[in-house]
Amino acid sequence: MTKSSFSSCYLIVSLRRRAVSWRLMVLASLCLGGLAAKVQAAQAFPLHTSGQFIVDSNGARVHINAFNWYGAEGQDYVVEGLQAQPLSSIVGTIKGMGFNAVRLLWSNQMVESNPPVGSYALTANPGLEGENALTIFDQVIQALANAGIMVILDNHVSTAGWCCSLTDGNELWYNGSYPESSWIADWQMLAQRYESNPWVIGADLRNEPRSPATWGGSSTTDWHAAAERGGNAVLSVNPSMLIFVEGVNYAGDLSGVASLPVQLNLANRLVYEAHDYGFWYSGFSSYSAYVNKITPKWGYLVTGSNPQPLWIGEFGTCDSANTCVDSTYSSDLGNWLDSMSAYVRDYGIDWSYWAINGTTETGNAGGFNTVEGYGVLNSTWNGSALNALTARLQSMMVSAGAGVSLVPAGGTGTVITPGRSSSTTLTIVPANGFTGTVNLSCTVSGPTGAIDLPQCGVPASETISGPGAVSATVSITTTGTTAKNVPGRWLPGAGGVAAAGFLILLGNVRRWRQSLLSLLVIVAIPFALQGCGGSNGTGTTTPSSPSTTAGNYAVTVTASATGISSVSEQIPFTVQ
């Protein structure tokens, strides 16, 4: 696309803000179509699976770096954000951050009732006012496709509303108002509706099946069997779609796949899906401890003897502080995210962050247009809510290339008494196939003017020979109170005391025995004073040297290797 034609596109999109009908958006879509075609040329549709990965029709690996965009599944019946920014602006901001796919939520109630969307949710998009839910859903998908963002449709709930609990009526893939037959019919309708749009690549059959959902067992709760029925129904009308099947227990448990895998009528269309949140864990002390927790649930599908395609369809953290993203304290979500994101980079796992939203929906705790505490975008939907969060997600995008991540051990914080030493573990996790020698170094920073900074130590290097992580010990040594010779002077009056004592003895010869003892004591006085910080007979004194200054410190460990960018990780500790 030439610069002049792109400017024309911008003019049309800008005019849409004052349009009286959504139809002007079609002009913008046609104009931007050239850009979408250019993006599509580098990625041949349709997609399928090969081994453990998603690939295009030429067999090239396709990495899914996605975001969740919620709202259409809820009581507003439309994606959130359209009250704050034009649709084109939101999509442009998201694309600029590097995301290439979206998990787009919908409900059976939205599809079947297709109500008009309230104007309160569209104030920044007047051209959409008065339109029904599915019409706007179409426009959102088209805008995403025009920007080269792939779409995975997610049946989030049956009855429209905020998700999820064990009593919200959406625990299974059906309920009293929307039976399984409706669930299947709605899926087939949407699969057929977007069959001609190659950017709609997948069907996430159901969000977070949970108790009483089971993997096998009774037909009324057997999510495994239902997923096979639903997946085959979708493929019967749109054989190009990928079928995403979540685990049970809020999508946190895919252990049943080991003995009872999903079988679809078309090969190379199945992707298993796990969800992962830091608040699900009571805390863990290291990267290896995290791996041990997820391996029996779903990690074995990645690292086992028969790897399967796996997508982490939801994970998220708070956006209120940098400790939400990176922390050595197990009480912070950043501690979990350090391990989780390193695991994703290590094994090249596809993922989708919860959520892109800057604001929430009706029915959520805060209500419509209140700040989303896990959002990538800010509350005005035009930039990052937390730069550190955006940067972390971008580091997880495979385009970042091979490298390593450093994951410190979690805990409640290291406290060291002056004069003592401590150590902690730092895990080096290879990313995107890196192997080789990793060189390590460390430095210590602390309070301004601190005396006797602690010393740190790390191995000179560690070797990465495969996808597994390796550990390195980081040592910290502090200084305690010690004696130290410094220039000094004789204590005033020390010699005078000795002379006076001798004269007293001469005047008391009759009591010579007692005086002899006194003489010995008096002569010893200067030497005793020397041992207490007084004269040492050489013109110096020996006061105690100060210990390491109390306060907050940090060890910065840096890892470097040939052909990759160096990375650093701070490990805070306290001296007191």
CATH code for the domain in which residue 87 is found: 3.20.20.80
> Does residue 134 belong to any structural domain of this protein?
yes
Are residue 365 and residue 499 in the same domain, yes or no? no
Tokens describing residue 214: 């089971």
Are residue 281 and residue 194 in the same domain, yes or no? yes
Residue 2 CA, chain-centre distance (Å), reads 38
The order of strands in the sheet holding 421-431 is 403-408, 421-431, 470-477, 455-457
Are residue 210 and residue 169 in the same domain, yes or no? yes
Q: With the C-alpha atoms ordered 157, 161, 164, 168, is the resulting torsion angle positive or negative?
A: negative
Please tell me the pTM assigned to this model: 0.81
> Does residue 520 belong to any structural domain of this protein?
yes
So what's the pLDDT on residue 544?
60
> Does residue 20 belong to any structural domain of this protein?
no
Q: Which residues pair with 521 in a beta bridge?
A: none
Is position 462 annotated as part of the catalytic site?
no
Angle in degrees, 0-180, between the axes of helices 180-193 and 223-237, rounded to the nearest 10: 30
Among 137, 159, 111, 127, smallest CA distance to 363 is for 159
Which tens digits make up the pLDDT trace of 488-532? Answer: 443 444 444 333 333 333 344 344 344 433 433 333 434 343 444
Are residue 228 and residue 261 in the same domain, yes or no? yes
- Full domain range(s) for residue 342: 43-400
So what's the pLDDT on residue 42?
58
Are residue 309 and residue 341 in the same domain, yes or no? yes
Tens of pLDDT along the chain (576 residues) come to 333 333 334 333 333 333 333 333 333 443 434 433 333 345 799 999 999 999 999 999 999 999 999 999 999 999 999 999 999 999 999 999 999 999 999 999 999 999 999 999 999 999 999 999 999 999 999 999 999 999 999 999 999 999 999 999 999 999 999 999 999 999 999 999 999 999 999 999 999 999 999 999 999 999 999 999 999 999 999 999 999 999 999 999 999 999 999 999 999 999 999 999 999 998 778 999 999 999 999 999 999 999 999 999 999 999 999 999 999 999 999 999 999 999 999 999 999 999 999 999 999 989 999 999 999 999 999 999 999 999 999 999 965 578 899 999 988 788 999 999 999 999 999 988 899 999 999 999 999 999 999 999 999 999 999 888 999 999 999 999 765 554 544 344 444 433 333 333 334 434 434 443 343 333 343 434 344 444 444 444 445 668 999 999 999 999 999 988 899 999 999 999
Rounded to whole angstroms, how far apart are CA atoms 19 and 13? 10
> Does residue 537 belong to any structural domain of this protein?
yes
Which tens digits make up the pLDDT trace of 369-412? Answer: 999 999 999 999 999 999 999 999 999 996 557 889 999 998 87
So what's the pLDDT on residue 203?
99
Say which residues have a Cβ less than 8 Å from residue 18's Cβ, sequence separation at least 6.
126
DSSP letter (8 states) at residue 52: T
DSSP letter (8 states) at residue 118: P
**Number of domains making up the chain:** 3
Helix-then-strand count for the chain, H and E: 14, 23
> Does residue 413 belong to any structural domain of this protein?
yes
In Å, what is the CA distance from 380 to each residue of 85, 270, 371, 376, 383? 7, 37, 9, 11, 8
Tokens describing residue 453: 């900074």
Among 112, 154, 140, 120, smallest CA distance to 367 is for 120
> Does residue 228 belong to any structural domain of this protein?
yes
In the chain, the N- to C-terminal Cα span, in Å, equals 63
Say which residues have a Cβ less than 8 Å from residue 475's Cβ, sequence separation at least 6.
421, 422, 423, 456, 457, 458
Q: Among 400, 429, 445, give the residue marking a domain's end.
A: 400
So what's the pLDDT on residue 467?
85
Q: Among 343, 365, 400, give the residue marking a domain's end.
A: 400
Are residue 423 and residue 556 in the same domain, yes or no? yes
Tokens describing residue 353: 């962050």
Is position 171 annotated as part of the catalytic site?
no
> Does residue 24 belong to any structural domain of this protein?
no
So what's the pLDDT on residue 514?
46
Tokens describing residue 391: 């940067």
Are residue 487 and residue 450 in the same domain, yes or no? no
Q: Token pair 């096979």 is at which residue?
A: 228
Q: Among 382, 400, 418, give the residue marking a domain's end.
A: 400
So what's the pLDDT on residue 483?
53
Rounded to whole angstroms, how far apart are CA atoms 421 and 255? 43
Are residue 128 and residue 235 in the same domain, yes or no? yes
Among 297, 403, 307, 296, smallest CA distance to 350 is for 307
Triad 267, 268, 274: Cα angle to 5°: 120
| Catalytically annotated residue among 73, 80, 314, 361 | 314
Rounded to whole angstroms, how far apart are CA atoms 505 and 398? 93
Are residue 288 and residue 231 in the same domain, yes or no? yes
Are residue 188 and residue 262 in the same domain, yes or no? yes
Rounded to whole angstroms, how far apart are CA atoms 356 and 102? 9
Are residue 96 and residue 239 in the same domain, yes or no? yes
Rounded to whole angstroms, how far apart are CA atoms 340 and 395? 13
CB 287 within 8 A of CB 330: no
So what's the pLDDT on residue 545?
66
Rounded to whole angstroms, how far apart are CA atoms 517 and 49? 100
CATH number at residue 427: 2.60.40.10
CB 516 within 8 A of CB 522: no
With 0-12 / 13-18 / 19 or more C-beta atoms within 10 angstroms meaning exposed / middle / buried, residue 21 is middle
So what's the pLDDT on residue 402?
81
> Does residue 7 belong to any structural domain of this protein?
no
| Catalytically annotated residue among 73, 129, 131, 208 | 208
Are residue 396 and residue 448 in the same domain, yes or no? no
